[in-house]
Structure 1
Amino acid sequence: MKRIYVPTQSGTDWQRLLGKPKLHWKKGRSAMSAAACWEGSHPGLPLEISSLLDSCRDSAVTGLELLLAIPEWEVALPGGETVSQTDIMAVCRNGSGLVILGVEAKVDEPFGPTLGEKKAGATAGQLERIAYLEKELGRSAPFGDEIRYQLLHRTVSALLTARAFHAKVAVMLVQSFSPESNWRDDFDAFCAGHACRELSPGLFEILGIDGLRLIVGWCKGDAKYLDVELPSAF
């Protein structure tokens, strides 16, 4: 994974970073909707994200200034060669310091397999990774089999990136452009599996994390971006 980045000229520049650029670059899907939203919100955070964070009135995450947003940010994890690829990893700041904000964009795409499905026939490396993720999330016992695996590694990716930047706060947000809030129940189940403190509706702090604060949340993306069609780079 390279650590040299250049500014985008338009949302189309995001396409080449996707795991499957031609397959995933479609109007009304999360990749294109997120690219259009973030490019349209520049130089700040999307309004729904800043509004959600400001709603908790916690000085650690209110009034954030966007310093840098990197599409398809890769984080290496133990137990295999596959990286966790976060849709947007943003470096932000306010008067309290740096905040790392990892964003998982969704429309109707699910969060992938459950832990039960992932463990069925898993290799030793895959089981090692699951155990590592659970430990990083402060678990003294495994999550239930119904929890979605993607929510674990996206949250830990934000946590590890915050440590790398010496940030005091890591945030993992689901930015859902789905009018029906598809898969919200999976997010709620993930939160219920922790010792969480509700900061405001849709925003929770996971307690018991060493060294920094870890916050997860769900926000409704602006549905107007479902109708935006960005050109293809291919």
Structure 2
Amino acid sequence: MFPSEGPENWGELLIKKKEQFKTGYSAKALAYCWEDQNGFPPDVKLAFLESKDGLFENFELLLVIPEYKVSLPGGSSASQNDIFILAKGKSQQKKEQLIAIAVEGKVNEDFGRTIGKRLGGEASSGLRKRIEFLLETPRLERLSDTDISGLRYQLLHRIASVILLAKKFTAPNAVVLVHSFNERDKGFIDYENFVSLFGLKAIKNRIIGPVTINKIDLYFGWVRGD
């Protein structure tokens, strides 16, 4: 890990820089959106404030790490968060608390295959072990096989990784934040269906929640970036 000297440095952390770090892709959009900010980008900050949750009234960004990897069982590759953020929230009603945030950037990319398609055919034992772990971590084992098969694997990944990060940094709060740069909000329906499983209604440009998972207050957010 090294201090960033500009948005182009973010590309050095990608496995396939030439393919992934170019105009029209989320990695570059996130780098140029977040690098030049003194804190949260305005659209992201507004989404937190619009949630009207006291935790975010006076929140502060402490640390930003792009392409942050979280090890998960059942495979050689880690869950790679586009951005990991450690923030601090405080309000008149609540004591100062840490907030772990996993940012998933999107331009024209979708959330990948569903769990059902990932497990279809000859799925490896490693993949099955990982999915079992992911489902156990967010406490989704109560869902039927039909419900689970339609979940987007990438969103499940992001929940598990941010819960683990919250525990690692002793943060009682966690946020899965989708930062979209697509004018048509591509992927929003998948996001909407996913959060509905937690009894939440998806709202664009708003942080929703929390739901308590493994003693962590988990929030979700969809923000359309400029």
Query: Aligned equivalents of 2:70 and 2:57: distance in 1?
Result: 26
Unaligned stretches of 5+ in structure 2? 91-95
Q: Does 2:107 match 1:103?
A: no
Partner of 1:123: 124
The DSSP-based 3-state class of the residue aligned with 1:40 is coil
Partner of 1:228: none
* TM-score (norm. length: structure 2): 0.90
Partner of 2:190: 186
Farther off after superposition, 140-149 or 87-96: 140-149
Partner of 1:61: 56
Unaligned stretches of 5+ in structure 1? 223-234
* TM-score (norm. length: structure 1): 0.87
Are the counterparts in 2 of residues 191 and 204 from structure 1 also a CA contact under 8 Å?
no
Partner of 2:93: none
Are the counterparts in 2 of residues 105 and 176 from structure 1 also a CA contact under 8 Å?
yes
Partner of 1:30: 26
Query: Aligned equivalents of 2:80 and 2:180: distance in 1?
Result: 17
Please report how far the alpha carbon of residue 202 of structure 1 lies from its aligned counterpart in structure 2 after TM superposition.
4.0
The DSSP-based 3-state class of the residue aligned with 1:19 is coil
Please report how far the alpha carbon of residue 174 of structure 1 lies from its aligned counterpart in structure 2 after TM superposition.
0.3
Query: Aligned equivalents of 2:202 and 2:193: distance in 1?
Result: 14
Q: Deviations over 1:173-214 (max 9, x none)?
A: 000000110111110111122233779964332534122101
Q: Deviations over 1:108-156 (max 9, x none)?
A: 1011111111011211221121121112112123543222100000121
Q: How has the CA–CA distance of structure 1 residues 197 and 182 changed in structure 2, closer, same or farther, with 3 Å as cutoff?
A: closer
Correspondence for 1:84 among 75, 79, 85: 79
Q: How has the CA–CA distance of structure 1 residues 109 and 197 changed in structure 2, closer, same or farther, with 3 Å as cutoff?
A: closer
Are the counterparts in 1 of residues 86 and 98 from structure 2 also a CA contact under 8 Å?
yes
> Counterpart amino acid of 2:126?
G
**Does 1 or 2 have the higher relative contact order (CA < 8 Å, sep 6+)?**
1
Query: Aligned equivalents of 2:191 and 2:211: distance in 1?
Result: 17
Correspondence for 2:17 among 18, 21, 39: 21
Kindly report which structure 2 residues correspond to 1:1-234, keeping only aligned pairs within 5 A, or say none.
5-41=1-37, 43-95=38-90, 96-120=96-120, 121-139=122-140, 140-141=142-143, 142=145, 143-196=147-200, 202-205=206-209, 207-222=211-226
**CA RMSD of superposed structures (Å):** 1.8
Query: Aligned equivalents of 2:17 and 2:205: distance in 1?
Result: 35
Query: Aligned equivalents of 1:60 and 1:104: distance in 2?
Result: 22
The DSSP-based 3-state class of the residue aligned with 1:116 is helix
The DSSP-based 3-state class of the residue aligned with 1:60 is helix
